[in-house]
Chain A
Amino acid sequence: MFSILTFNFSFSTMSYQVTARKWRPMVFEDVIGQAHVSNTLRNAISTNRLAHAFIFSGGRGCGKTTTARILAKAVNCLRPKDSNPCNECEVCEEITNGRSLDVIEIDGASNRGVDEIRNLRESVRYAPARGKYKVYIIDEVHMLTKEAFNALLKTLEEPPPHVLFIFATTEVHKVPATILSRCQRYDFRRITIEDIISRLRFIAGEEKIAIDDDALMIIAKKGDGSMRDSQSIFDQVVSYCGTTITVPQIISLLNVVDQEFFFRITECITAHDTKAGLALVEEIVRNGYDIKEFLSGLAEHFRNILIARATQSVHLIEASEIYRKRYATDALLFSEQDILRLIKLTTDMESSVRYSTQPRLRLEVGIIQMTKMEQSVKIDDLLRQLDELKKKLDLGAHTSASSITLSAHSSMSRPAVSEPAVDEKRTTYTVVPPLKIAELSKLSLSAPQKDSVPTPVAAPEPSLNHFAVEEVQREWDKIVDDVRRKKISVGTILGESVPVSVTDQTLQIACSDDFHFSSLKRNQMFLTEAINTLLGSKLRIEPVLRPSVASPSPLPAKTGLPKPNEAPYTKIDGSTPPKEHPLIETLYRDFGAERI
């Protein structure tokens, strides 16, 4: 009845078999990393205190099915050695070849219904044909239906004395509590990297394959705690490289991102070299690295730096000796906050790359943000600096430390331009450029700015001419005439507008209405050129809309509602925004309305 369900795991055919099958352990000692399970089972066998039902749980490839088969053999073996199966007697051989009538391996995922369990209950009654026990191994038991589990309960609680149930599953939480309470439960552990390496080293030796420990380390790390995964990778490596295996071959085969890349990224970040960063992205894509894999590697890299930084040692880092040393030196370049921010950026990128249609773009954006990131200063340092500043300037009157934004006019500290505004919730203190006490005298106190992110302040270049607005006003008629000669329509409109201010090399021209504004805007390039040639200046021209100033007959009485086009194209320095209709103000204040 279970004939199609038992599997032929014989070695009879001479064709190639993967390592995981060929080297499936046959005795308890060979099941790596699960001593807590195998010792318990062996003691139970030797003291004759074996339970009648077991459930083995644990991740993929950690030895559940293997242990189940060894146990089945150990209890039936004719000449057990030290509670291990001998693997030589006829019973052992029958079981190994899947011919035994007493050991029945059932695929729980394919035979999951109540009918199959009913059949099983029928067959349980018959005594074993040869051995001592009749062993039922149900693999992937979590897939049984609820009815099937329930049908099993009575049999499982009080089976005939010759019956042994062994369940194996990766998802023990799907097994009902009533089943669990009737079984002895054994949790299999993830296998450590060292254990995997030593087992692979043994297999390689047996198969006469030359491979060094660094190469095994890469394989074991990729295997992620699973012996089967590691052995699959090992197989692949062997069939790709032949009998002599070297690290570079593995790296190119598995496309493991070379550690070197991560160190180069940190270099780009410390040097603020955006261009090199982008070149690196190009290289990563060209080398065919998986961007997700690269990012998780990068996160691990930052984690290593963080650990080196936080613990002042490199013992907790899983890397080879050369890299550990480099981590120790690299750790000094970053503060903990910086690394934490980098990790945050990286993990954010990881999650957005997963859903992004253009992962490369995400990576590019991220790298740019990283290279543009400013080093942060601790809030304590900042407060101390502020205190000193206060003392120095003796400005006790109008300072409240919390509402001060520092803007550094120092050319030494690069402005924190592209602090990732994607994440606007970030607190301010981490983004303030580092200040040295010596530079403090150059600091100026300015009114709190709207944004929490300090805006870039262009350092005024002394070589440029400074034009005061008065000069422009003096020359205004000449300018208007000149423009009128070149383009009459623009000139006319310019004549009806007024230059208001020059700030930061930007000349603002106030116009009375939408029409004037938009036509000046259209001709911005032309105007800039015309005015600059006339004045010999390097001004930017910026038309602003300000009905109240220029227009002799403004339109105040019409309505209090803002015209849609009056949107704040630019903030007008010094002038208070026009008073809004009370209704509108309520909308702003109470409903969080925004102008569009």
Chain B
Amino acid sequence: MGWDSIIGQGRAKEILQRSIEQKRVAHAYLLWGPPGVGKDALAIEFAKTLLCDRQESKACDTCASCTKMHILQHPNLKIVFALPAARSEKNNDNGEGKFQPDIREEIRSQIAEKAKNPYFHFEIPKATQINIGTIRDVKKESSLAPYEKGMKIFIISDAEMMNDTSANSMLKVLEEPLSDTLFLLTTSRKEKLLPTIVSRCQSVRCELLTDADIERALTERETIPPEQARLVSRLASGDYSAALGLVHEDLVSERAEAVRFLRATLSGRSVTLLEDIEGRIAENDRGAVDQFLSLLLVWFRDAMLMKEQGVEGIINQDQQEDLLKFVSRFGDANFPASIGAVERALELLRGNVYLPLVLLSLSVQLKRILLNAR
């Protein structure tokens, strides 16, 4: 708990803490930056600090208010996130009242999860947007006096999920809310927000976490062995949530698969290649193929780097020998082009193109690019 529990984000923390110290807390902040770097975590900590009885730039973590914040049940705090469409838009019930019991249960358990792990990402099934009903609730609550002393704080998680109507109806209240009201918006897709929304908030940029930060957090908090933590942190590319997800994957064997695919491609043994592709898509798991291609991408990046400047800065440190062999054979190949080919395949994959076709065409392209160079 406390500001120290947030990984990295030195500058963002400082901006928020100093605004408390200087008594210049604005009425709206937009915390933006890549996914999984702790934007919600920052927002929650900021809210807790402002509501804490101590009224300083650090929360005491012991007072009644902080205790309520630890389980995210403070009455002055409202967390807004995408919810499924209510039973009926005309239904005048407030808040959760308008949902089916199972969805209500889901919402509650997700909030509890968020309280435990601020890096948790809200995902209510069938929820695609923050709709106008939710925003109406927000506006209504913001016009009322706070339940307890202190500010009313609204955290709008993934603000880009607001649709056109809800975003527009936020504008007036976001510009000139009643005093002692604070809006904390978080987003990983700032460009999808209305410029008029962005302009009404103080933008605080959250940065990608460094590999070292993630590595440390993984070893200290999740007790991951250092070897694995290093590989995972490199692959997570600054996204702690992704790192937590990757911890449970067998990356080393996945990578071996990627190398095998490359080998099959280059050896020209089409039968092996086809078998490989068949096996890969048998489960039709696009997520797995995505990861597999990402690993391939990392491999090419390393090869390119190795060619340019030696082993420095390489992600697959434990595979130096194989990489060296690869580079000595295909050193003249156009690595940028092959990286382009893999990225294109990733794009197609996400565009829901027939899987075998994607892999086969990738393999043909790679073969041409790599073998032509020799």
Contact = CB atoms under 8 A, between A and B. Distances in A.
A4 B143 contact: yes
Contacts of A110: 136, 139, 169, 172
6 contacts: A13-B179, A60-B195, A109-B169, A255-B205, A358-B297, A360-B237
Given A109-B172, A140-B168, A596 B364 contact: yes
A109 B136 CA distance: 11
Nearest to B132: A110
Interface stretch (B66-74, B106-114, B219-227, B303-311): B303-311
Interface string A329-366: 00000000000000000000000100111101100110
A109 B18 contact: no
Given A140-B168, A226-B199, A456-B332, A356 B301 contact: no
A422 interface: yes
Contacts of B335: 365
A93 interface: no
Interface in B308-324: 308-309, 313
A357 B205 contact: no
Interface in B28-76: none
Contact of B15 (A107, A170, A253, A365): A253
In this complex, the interface size class of chain B, counting residues with CB under 8 Å from chain A, is 35 or more
Interface string B127-151: 0000000001001000100000000
A364 B305 contact: yes
Q: What band does the interface of chain A fall in when counting residues whose beta carbon is under 8 Å from B?
A: 35 or more
Contact of A228 (B168, B199, B205): B199
B203 interface: yes
B19 A239 contact: yes
B24 A239 contact: yes
Contact of A361 (B175, B202, B203, B297): B297
A399 B136 CA distance: 78
Nearest to B328: A525
The 8 closest A-B pairs by CB, nearest first: A109-B168, A239-B24, A288-B207, A13-B179, A107-B172, A110-B169, A109-B169, A60-B199
Interface of A: 4, 7-9, 13, 15-16, 18, 21, 59-61, 65, 107, 109-110, 112, 139-140, 142-143, 170, 226, 228-229, 232-233, 235-236, 238-240, 242, 252-253, 255, 274-275, 278, 282, 285-286, 288, 290, 352, 355-358, 360-361, 364-365, 368-369, 418, 420-422, 456, 564-565, 567, 569-570, 596
Interface stretch (B79-87, B280-288, B337-345): B337-345
A142 B200 CA distance: 18
Contacts of B90: none
Given A4-B143, A253-B15, A357 B294 contact: yes
Main secondary structure of the interface of B (DSSP, over half): helix
Given A239-B19, A274-B308, A278-B309, A16 B25 contact: yes
B60 to A, nearest CB: 22
B301 A355 contact: no
A364 B25 CA distance: 39
Contact of A565 (B178, B268, B332, B340): B268
A16 B27 CA distance: 9
A413 B179 CA distance: 69
A288 B304 CA distance: 23
B11 A107 contact: no
A288 B205 CA distance: 10
A139 B200 CA distance: 15
Nearest to A422: B340
B171 interface: yes
A282 B270 CA distance: 39
Contacts of B15: 236, 239-240, 253
A290 B334 CA distance: 27
